[in-house]
Amino acid sequence: MFYGAVVWDPWLIVAQIVCLQCLYYMTLGFFIWVLVGARVPRLTLVYFFDYSALNASTVTGWCVIASFLMSAFSGAGYMLLLIERAKKCLDFSATLFIIHLFISIIYGGWPSSLTWWVVNGTGLAVMALLGEWLCIRRELREIPITRLRSNV
């Protein structure tokens, strides 16, 4: 893509938000399946959206916390592929976690656990900062220029 002229395209932004949200939840589901699935008899949406599942006093709670943090790391990679701009990483990360907050409020009520806020705040910071760093590295790569020689 060429980034010289900024074009306002709300459909692209909405599509990027939806794709990023879906990829984040798919990755979170995979990590919960791997880490938590062996510890509990049945996986439910509680581990995604209920603040009580993020509990630092049980091994299962630590597995859920690890799943959320590993999903944040993966989300930074998804931003490199989907968003491609370092200056947009914080906006998309914050949007993802705000949408997650709203879904969590609808599912299990207001998150009153300090652990939930720390884990999601850390996930937001990791996703935004690592995503920006990855995008900056891509933006600062040298542009290969091939020279054509004339056979005169």
pLDDT at res. 1: 47
Number of neighbours of residue 59 by Cβ within 10 angstroms: 10
pLDDT tens across 43-83, in order? Answer: 999 999 999 999 999 999 999 999 999 999 999 999 999 99
pTM of the entire predicted model: 0.87
Structure tokens at 63: 């597995």
pLDDT at res. 106: 95
How confident is residue 2, by pLDDT bands cut at 50, 70 and 90? very low
Residue environment code for 82-105, b if the CB has 16+ CB neighbours within 10 A, otherwise e: bbbbbebbbebbeebbeebbeebe
pLDDT tens across 29-44, in order? Answer: 999 999 999 889 899 9
Residues of the chain with pLDDT > 70, as a percent, come to 93
Distance from C-alpha of 47 to C-alpha of 53, rounded to nearest angstrom:
5
Residues of the chain with pLDDT > 90, as a percent, come to 78
Q: What is the mean pLDDT of the chain?
A: 91
For residue 135, count CB atoms less than 10 angstroms from its CB and return exposed for 0-12, middle for 13-18, buried for 19 or more. buried
pLDDT at res. 149: 64
Tell me the average pLDDT across 73-101: 95
